[in-house]
Structure 1
């Protein structure tokens, strides 16, 4: 007999080992359909993970941050599959979730261009509709192997059980030449995707990949203050990103190695006015004041 303790403290008993998905199904069909992973004794696991002993279990859905991160990680795999189908000679390298979205990096003989993105996105939509399964394969290294279609990819898990839950996504950028990255965003609903697509008042720009987590945390702090903010975490030169956003975004918040180490940010306006370095909380408070972003 296996006892499962649910988040509300209730107990369920099962006669034999069962998967996280089976636990969700025993609670209700809607939860089983929404499940993207489980948390067993505090550890995130795939839906196919088998529970063999008494445990505390929480079913993870896209409505919580961990679930949304899993959606984005799996969307990166689906992007890799789409690129491989359209460009069989492309060599897949690595991909993962990143801020509000994801990326996948690959090497190609002929560089892809922004004109290729709609075709790749359409192929991803087709893959989602086909509802491919994503299954973890036995692997001894730190990174797991996940099988999607007829290809295995090295990736940290967990991943969604099937591609049908990957519906609200979009590709928005491609960088590099022979070694390229395609970036996209992914959300739990089309409504959230549309809200994200609204032009922001503030863009948080990272210097390089090492500040990605810090830049996203600053962005989340601004959003908590009611500021319409996005993070640009692309692996592009910071001058390129600043020049691009300066054309349309009222304020830019720049974070580099020094800003991250000191817990502050550098703020500048679209017109080039430099407001210097501010503590994160002070910057969020200032930018959220009535009239600042409308001025």
Structure 2
């Protein structure tokens, strides 16, 4: 008897080998109808997969990620088949499912157009109607290579050649279309009815800018048209909030080809928001006992060789000079830690000096590949709220908790804590070249961090292979409006670099000992945070963060003097104001001020000038009518001071 343990813990027994689909049928016909894949012993498989020994099994429907992936991966193959029918010379690259849908990369003579997408969608609908049976088969390496060579698919040939010798090489066939693929897929094309192709983009083969640029088609699919419609509506809303579009429209930042990719220019309004954030962070860190440092933007390669960055991170750095020909080689700093370590070493330290908390508003440089860069999210030069805490072992947990408390305070103040998830990033013991090779210390430090996170009651996931090269870390993850997840803040426990740098302290027993170092950011990268806030608030920032907190609109030139008086009164209390002196109709000026997302619009005319009032229009309450100027000033000052959201 074959024993199959189901998700609820119940066990079903079968006399003969049985497919996942038939197991689903044995549970209920209703379940079988909505089944998309199976998870056997934690491995995702087709419904056609034959179970021939005891195992655990869960049936994947569209309500599960595994089910969505199988459904959307199948849709990507339907997309590829449609493209090959319409554009026979197109070469197939890869077409995975992704969190929000799927994509497929093609090598074509000219990039696809939106007119092409309409034709491809129509062809996909035909393929779905044909109800093509999807079949899986395997081939030995030589036969697999021959098949792809005969079909003129060089990218598939390359993928096969890169597979390990013992890898099972599988293909999926639907009608006359065959694709190299590990699966899983649905049983036929028929269930894929609610789908949409959403975007065209360029993508380097294998993400390497040295390779050919391919044409990528994105799309998504659902089991119900209503769900697809809701997704497309959300997509339109996301486009409106996209920081790359909205940030430029609101004149927060720009880019310029002569400056270079990944080097955004913050315009006055964007720079004002970042300045507000920096002052907020530096003041709060000082209140919490941080000591401010100011360190160089570059250093000799000697410093990075001590830290290990030269060995583990050199390709991501901007190196100035050539080791073969120059006596001294410098590099722009990708992080601040080695510099602050030198500040620690400026004098002898005692156990009484610890914990020592250093903070710095640091400009950093990282040589990101051109394919990775996007708006303010991923750039080559950025500014970060960086800090390092040098602590004794007995202080580690308390200081780590203090860092997390600071971060949560920042996230709460910005109003984005509910959008954050926590990830415990660990090393990969099978990839020792990526990390400092001290397995015992890695495991001990990871155990300590896990214990601290559990004491904090943080709901976190674990990710192997995502640690820094010198220690495990807690990553705070944020999803942008398009669903892509980025790390915005990290907290790392470093068990290694203090020893590398000779950073010791004299303990109570008179012996020299090495401290732990906590690497952390409190707000993360300011550029990325700005992008996140643009999307979170759709450009309508809370008053304390808004680059223009009140927009003053005189009804006509006769009231310019009073408008200037109002402006000065507000500015004297630290309120950021702009006055629109243009000879435009007041209705037009109000509409423009609304489009600029100003929290308050203050209209001034004859009545307001006579009574020292302002006619207030606010984002929250609309037209509030005339308010005494002094009363309004006290109100907005309080709103700014309390950082009301």
- Give the TM-score normalised by the residue count of structure 2: 0.34
Against the structure 1 CA distance between its residues 209 and 60, is the aligned structure 2 distance closer, same or farther, given a 3 Å change threshold? farther
Alignment of 1:137-216 (within 5 A): 137-139=137-139, 141=163, 142=167, 144-176=170-202, 179-198=214-233, 199-200=236-237, 202-203=241-242, 208=371
Q: Summarize the Cα distance change of 1:135–1:222 in structure 2 as closer, same or farther, 3 Å threshold.
A: farther
C-alpha change, 1:45 and 1:260, in structure 2 (3 Å) is farther
**Per-residue deviation at 1:11?**
2.1
The answer to whether the 8 Å contact 1:68/1:188 transfers is no
Superposed displacement of residue 110, structure 1: 4.0
Correspondences of 1:44-83 after superposition (within 5 Å): 44-83=44-83
**Residues of 1 paired with 2:9 and 2:483: CA distance?**
41
For residues 29 and 127 of structure 1, the distance between their equivalents in structure 2, rounded to whole angstroms, comes to 26
Secondary structure at 2:481's aligned position in 1? strand
Q: How many Å apart are 1:99 and its aligned residue?
A: 2.8
CA distance in 2, matches of 1:154, 1:87: 19
Cα distance, 1:232–1:173 mapped onto 2, change above 3 Å: farther
Which runs of 5 or more structure 2 residues have no equivalent in the other structure?
A: 142-162, 204-212, 245-369, 379-415, 422-478, 491-520, 547-618, 623-644
Confirm or deny: 8 A CA contact 1:223 1:229 kept in the other structure.
no
What's the CA shift string for 1:195-249, capped at 9, x where partnerless?
Answer: 11123264477x85699xx99xxx9x7499xxx973176xxxxxxxxxxxxxxxx
Query: Once the 2 structures are TM-superposed, how far is the Cα of residue 18 of structure 1 from its aligned partner?
Result: 0.8
Which structure dedicates a bigger proportion of its chain to helix?
Answer: 2
Aligned match for 1:231, one of 476, 482, 486: 482
Deviations 1:109-141 (A, max 9, x none): 344311111111111122122222222221564
3-state SS of paired residue (2:78): helix
Query: Hey, what's the Cα distance between the residues in 2 that align with 1:144 and 1:155?
Result: 6
Q: 1: CA distance between counterparts of 2:58 and 2:21?
A: 11
More displaced, 104-113 or 12-21?
104-113
Q: Deviation of residue 272 (structure 1)?
A: 10
Q: Which moved more, 1:168-177 or 1:41-50?
A: 168-177
Query: In 1, distance between residues paired with 2:172 and 2:420?
Result: 34
Cα deviation for residue 28 of structure 1 reads 1.9
Task: Give the whole-Å Cα distance in 2 for the aligned partners of 1:145 and 1:26.
Answer: 29
Determine if contact 1:222/1:229 at 8 Å carries over to the other structure.
no
Look at both structures and tell me which one has the larger radius of gyration over its CA atoms: 2
Distance 1:260 1:160 in 2: 39
Instruction: Tell me the TM-score normalized by structure 1.
Output: 0.71
Q: 1:160 to 1:209 in 2, by over 3 A?
A: farther
Residues 1:20 and 1:190: Cα distance change in structure 2 (over 3 Å): same
Measure how far apart 1:260 and its partner are.
Answer: 7.5
1:29 deviates by 1.9
Aligned pair in 2 of structure 1 residues 132, 209: CA closer, same or farther (>3 Å)? farther
Contact 2:133 2:189 in 1 (8 A): yes
Residue 91 (structure 1) shift: 1.2
> The residue matched to 1:115 in structure 2 has which SS?
helix
Tell me by how many angstroms 1:85 deviates.
0.8
Whether contact under 8 Å (1:3, 1:55) holds in the other structure is yes
Residue 146 of structure 1 aligns to a residue whose secondary structure is strand
8 Å CA contact 1:2, 1:54 repeated in 2: yes
Aligned to 2:350: none
Which ranges of structure 1 fall in alignment gaps of 5 or more residues? 234-253, 277-290
Q: CA deviation at 1:26?
A: 1.7
Q: SS where residue 93 of structure 2 aligns?
A: strand
Measure, in 1, the Cα distance between the counterparts of 2:137 and 2:220: 26
Q: Which whole-Å deviations, capped at 9, do the CAs of 1:157-177 have from their partners, x for residues lacking one?
A: 222222222222100122349
Alignment size in residue pairs: 248
* Preserved CA contact (<8 Å) 1:204 1:229: no
- Does the CA contact (< 8 Å) of 1:99 and 1:231 recur in 2? no
CA distance in 2, matches of 1:19, 1:40: 11
Assess if the C-alpha contact under 8 Å between 2:100 and 2:483 holds in 1. Answer: no
RMSD (Å), alpha carbons? 3.8
